[in-house]
Structure 1
Amino acid sequence: MNEPIVRLTTSSTVYDRIRDDILAGSLAPGLKLRIEFVCERYGTGASPVREALNRLSSEGLVERRDQRGFYVSQVSLAQLAELVKTRCWLEGIAVRESILHRTVAWEEGVVLAFHRLSRTPRSLDPASYSFNPDWEERHREFHHALIANCGSSWLLGFCRDMRDQADRYRRLAAARVYPARQGPDEHREIMDAAIDGEVERTVELLQRHYQKTLTIIETDFAVAVD
Structure 2
Amino acid sequence: MTYGTGDPDEGKGAKSTLASSVYHQLRDDLLRGALESESKLRVEWVVARYGAGASPVREALNRLAAEGLLGRHDQRGFFLMPVSAAELEELTHTRCWLEERALRESIAHRTAEWEEQLVLALHRLARADRRLPDDPATNNPEWEKLHRAFHRALISACRSHWLIGFCDQLSDQASRYRLISQRGPGTERDDIGEHRTIAERTLDGDADGAVGALLNHYRMTAALCMERFNQGYAPLAAGKARRVRK
TM above 0.5, yes or no, is yes
Q: Give the counterpart of 2:46 among 38, 43, 47.
A: 38
| 1:79 matched residue in structure 2 | 87
Structure 2: tracts of 5 or more residues without a match: 1-7, 238-246
Kept in 2: contact 1:7–1:48 (CA 8 A): yes
RMSD: 1.6
Q: How does 1:70-219 map to 2 (within 5 A)?
A: 70-125=78-133, 128-176=136-184, 178=186, 180-181=188-189, 183-219=191-227
Cα deviation for residue 113 of structure 1 reads: 0.5
Amino acid at match of 2:79: Y
Q: Helix, strand or coil for the counterpart of 1:128?
A: strand
Amino acid at match of 2:44: E
Kept in 1: contact 2:61–2:70 (CA 8 A): yes
Question: Does the C-alpha gap of structure 1 residues 157 and 106 become closer, same or farther in structure 2, counting only changes over 3 Å?
Answer: same
Structure 1: tracts of 5 or more residues without a match: none
Q: Helix, strand or coil for the counterpart of 2:29?
A: helix
Cα deviation for residue 87 of structure 1 reads: 0.6
CA distance in 1, matches of 2:118, 2:185: 27
Kept in 2: contact 1:128–1:178 (CA 8 A): no
CA distance in 1, matches of 2:84, 2:156: 29
Larger Rg: 2
Detail structure 1 runs of 4+ shifted over 4 Å in the superposition: none
Q: Helix, strand or coil for the counterpart of 1:94?
A: helix
| 1:49 matched residue in structure 2 | 57
CA offsets 1:172-202 (integer angstroms, 9 cap, x no match) = 0112353522531100110110000000111
CA distance in 2, matches of 1:93, 1:73: 27
Kept in 2: contact 1:176–1:220 (CA 8 A): no
CA distance in 1, matches of 2:56, 2:103: 37
CA offsets 1:75-109 (integer angstroms, 9 cap, x no match) = 11111111111111111011101111111111111
Cα deviation for residue 128 of structure 1 reads: 2.6
Amino acid at match of 2:32: A
* Normalised TM-score (structure 1): 0.95
Kept in 2: contact 1:99–1:194 (CA 8 A): yes
Cα deviation for residue 222 of structure 1 reads: 1.2
Kept in 2: contact 1:29–1:73 (CA 8 A): no
Kept in 2: contact 1:95–1:147 (CA 8 A): yes
* Normalised TM-score (structure 2): 0.87
The alignment of Structure 1 onto Structure 2 pairs a total of residues equal to: 226
CA distance in 2, matches of 1:213, 1:124: 20
Kept in 1: contact 2:138–2:184 (CA 8 A): no
Q: Helix, strand or coil for the counterpart of 2:183?
A: helix
Cα deviation for residue 67 of structure 1 reads: 3.5
CA distance in 1, matches of 2:211, 2:141: 27
Q: Which region of structure 1 is more displaced relative to structure 2, 148-157 or 28-37?
A: 28-37
Q: Helix, strand or coil for the counterpart of 1:224?
A: coil
